[in-house]
Amino acid sequence: MNEIARTIAATGEPMGPAEFELAIRAVGAERYHDKHAFHKLLHGGKLNKGQVQAWALNRYCYQAAVPRKDAALMSRTHDRELRREWIHRIHDHDGLGEEQGGIERWLVLTDALGLDRDYVISMEGALPATRFAVEAYVRFVVEQPLTVAVASSLTELFAPSIHRERIAGMLQSYRFVNEEVMAYFKRRLSQAPRDADFALAYVKRTAATRSEQEACVDAVRFKCNTLWVQLDALQHAYVEGNVPPGAFRPTA
């Protein structure tokens, strides 16, 4: 925090909209999981198939939790317009009618990696740290003030660049990855910005006091932490070779 920011924080004046947005975006620059060593290994083609399997298997837990998290948010608001907008996130992940949605696209990825679908869905082989982090995110959205819960989704502001990097890096690096397998990330390139724009405008409009704004910035930090923890756990288990009891053990 620079001198001026420190003075403003001390006086308790709310940030202006531009300053508030910058504070949110600064969290991404500092700690979004594209900075993580495991991410760099994944996208740089430095992992073997078993390690990519472990990543996809664990990340499934997060994908599968997203609609529960979004439904929890919807269950908390009397604002019909907010629910009517937010429901698209559930459609994106669970699908709607003929459209099968993002979770199914994720299972296409795990299928292609040679993982048994029932095993993936059971989450039996997932790292406990993954599941704890994911459920911490769901609980955060259940329990925090609504605006703060909305703010925790704002890591989507940082997602398109990681997805573009991931698509390019993984297609180039791994012979077991093709365009069909990467369909999840391609779809998210258009979904995430729309969602993030709405959520950012909502948070800027509804977080009125300095302390509410700071709680929103903290929510983005919290969310980054839940993502970072997942990559830490993968690195510790599957790069450094400390697979905990009961977790997936690659044979590939």
We find the least distance from the C-beta atom of residue 94 to a copy of itself, in angstroms, to be 5
Residues 60, 110: Cα–Cα separation, whole Å? 9
201 residue type, one letter: A
Q: Is 183 in the site for a copy of itself (CB under 8 A)?
A: no
Contacting residue, 8, 23, 71, 183, with a copy of itself by CB under 8 A: 71
Comparison of 57 and 162: residue with beta carbon closer to a copy of itself: 57
Site membership for a copy of itself, residue 76 (CB under 8 A): yes
Q: What is the DSSP string of 55-115?
A: HHHHHHHHHHHHHHHHHHHHHT---HHHHHHHHHHHHHHH-BTTB-HHHHHHHHHHHHTT-
**Exposed e or buried b per residue across 153-164, where buried means at least 16 C-beta atoms within 10 angstroms of its C-beta:** bbbbbbbbebbe
Closer residue to a copy of itself, CB minimum distance, 101 or 169? 101
Give the helix ranges, DSSP H, for 126-182: 128-143, 146-151, 159-173
Binding window for a copy of itself (CB under 8 A); candidates: 28-36, 76-84, 208-216, 237-245: 76-84
Considering only residues 134 through 173, tell me which ones interact with a copy of itself, judged by CB under 8 A.
Answer: 138, 142
Verify binding: residue 90, a copy of itself, rule CB under 8 A.
yes
Question: Judged by CB under 8 A, does residue 80 bind a copy of itself?
Answer: yes
| Closer residue to a copy of itself in complex, CB, 37/121 | 121
Q: How many CB atoms lie within 10 A of CB 213?
A: 23
The contact set with a copy of itself (CB under 8 A) reads 64, 67-78, 80, 83-84, 87, 90-91, 94-96, 103, 138, 142
